[in-house]
């Protein structure tokens, strides 16, 4: 095992902790780790991230459910719409040049980081008791599909998009939105991976090893949920994601400028 792959496996713990603690961030970290450290082509790294993040989220969601932080009805509705978008994105992503996918992914990283750093305003619908308000079904389905499309296309689980959407649309407090987002991520990642497997082959021993380590991290993150100040945690992680996103842009844009073939 080369040094890059070993470091990638060690960083799998960070991926898991992010998912368990924040309800997102797994793919934001997994795709660059697999691409630049494990040496996977972009399409393979995106497909692998969908499997890793999907399985890790599915395991972590039960830890949150035991603590009463999952709203199954809202999660299933949002997730079902997301699965349709993710499947379509997964098929489409297999035919897009790798450098283009990485640039799209980096743009999403920068946008996500900016939203995390700025934070979210409290709304009247987001109560702290976990009560749910009436769902605007058409809006939930549309938002779910759009987030799912992004999930399938660039391997981003969309947790940092799902959490605020659940907070605003479903009236869920942040801690409950985090737990519910893991259910949505697991559903969408499964659909996105199904689309990618039409065109991509995975290194299953590496993917399964990464997944196992990430699951351990997710259980740690779930235990820490609620114990660390959310605002400080999100801002710190947001700056980290911003740095990684800029790094990916700096690395991937020159081939487009210099005319290097995309395939």
- 3-state DSSP assignment of residue 94: coil
The distance from CA 93 to its chain's CA centroid, rounded to whole angstroms, is 16
d(CA 78, CA 147): 10
Using only the alpha carbons of the chain, give its radius of gyration.
17
What are the pLDDT tens digits along the chain (263 aa)?
788 899 999 999 988 888 777 776 677 788 889 998 999 998 899 889 889 988 988 888 888 888 888 889 888 998 899 888 888 887 888 788 878 888 887 887 787 778 767 765 554 444 444 455 566 778 778 888 887 887 777 766 566 667 777 776 667 777 788 888 889 888 888 888 888 888 888 999 999 999 999 999 988 887 876 677 767 766 777 787 788 788 888 888 876 676 655 44
CB-CB contact of 185 with 159 (8 Å): yes
The candidate with the shortest Cα–Cα distance to 179, out of 221, 227, 239, is: 221
Q: How many C-beta atoms lie closer than 10 Å to residue 261's C-beta? A: 7
- Looking up tokens 């987030």 gives 147
Residue 23's region, left for phi above 0, alpha for psi from -120 to 50, else beta, is: left
The candidate with the shortest Cα–Cα distance to 158, out of 169, 168, 170, 146, is: 146
Q: Indicate the pTM of the whole model.
A: 0.73
Query: Residue 68, class by beta-carbon neighbours within 10 Å (0-12 exposed, 13-18 middle, 19+ buried)?
Result: exposed
Question: Residue 12 has what pLDDT?
Answer: 92
CB-CB contact of 82 with 158 (8 Å): yes
Query: Residue 173, class by beta-carbon neighbours within 10 Å (0-12 exposed, 13-18 middle, 19+ buried)?
Result: middle
Question: Residue 123 has what pLDDT?
Answer: 45
The distance from CA 123 to its chain's CA centroid, rounded to whole angstroms, is 24
Q: How many C-beta atoms lie closer than 10 Å to residue 210's C-beta? A: 27
Q: How many C-beta atoms lie closer than 10 Å to residue 31's C-beta? A: 30
- Looking up tokens 């196992």 gives 212
Number of residues that this document lists for the chain: 263
Of all residues in the chain, what percent are helix, strand and coil, respectively (each to 5)?
A: 75, 0, 25
């Amino acid at each position: 095992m080369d040094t890059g792959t070993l470091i990638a496996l060690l960083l799998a713990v960070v991926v898991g902790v992010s998912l368990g603690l924040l309800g997102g961030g797994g793919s934001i970290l997994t795709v660059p780790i697999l691409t630049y450290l494990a040496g996977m082509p972009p399409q393979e790294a995106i497909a692998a991230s969908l499997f890793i993040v999907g399985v890790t989220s599915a395991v972590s969601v039960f830890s949150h459910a035991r603590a009463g932080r999952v709203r199954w009805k809202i999660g299933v509705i949002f997730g079902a719409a997301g699965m349709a978008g993710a499947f379509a994105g997964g098929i489409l992503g297999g035919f897009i040049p790798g450098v283009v996918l990485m640039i799209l992914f980096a743009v999403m990283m920068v946008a996500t980081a900016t939203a995390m750093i700025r934070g979210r305003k409290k709304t009247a619908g987001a109560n702290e008791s976990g009560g749910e308000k009436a769902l605007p079904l058409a809006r939930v389905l549309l938002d779910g599909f759009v987030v799912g499309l992004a999930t399938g296309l660039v391997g981003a689980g969309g947790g940092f998009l799902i959490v605020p959407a659940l907070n605003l649309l479903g009236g869920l407090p942040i801690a409950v939105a985090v737990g519910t987002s893991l259910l949505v991520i697991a559903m969408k990642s499964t659909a996105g991976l199904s689309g990618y497997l039409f065109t991509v082959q995975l290194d299953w021993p590496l993917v399964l090893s990464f997944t196992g380590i990430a699951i351990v991290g997710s259980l740690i993150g779930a235990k820490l949920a609620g114990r660390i100040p959310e605002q400080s945690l999100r801002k710190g992680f947001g700056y980290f994601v911003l740095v990684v996103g800029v790094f990916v842009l700096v690395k991937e844009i020159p081939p487009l400028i210099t005319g290097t073939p995309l395939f």
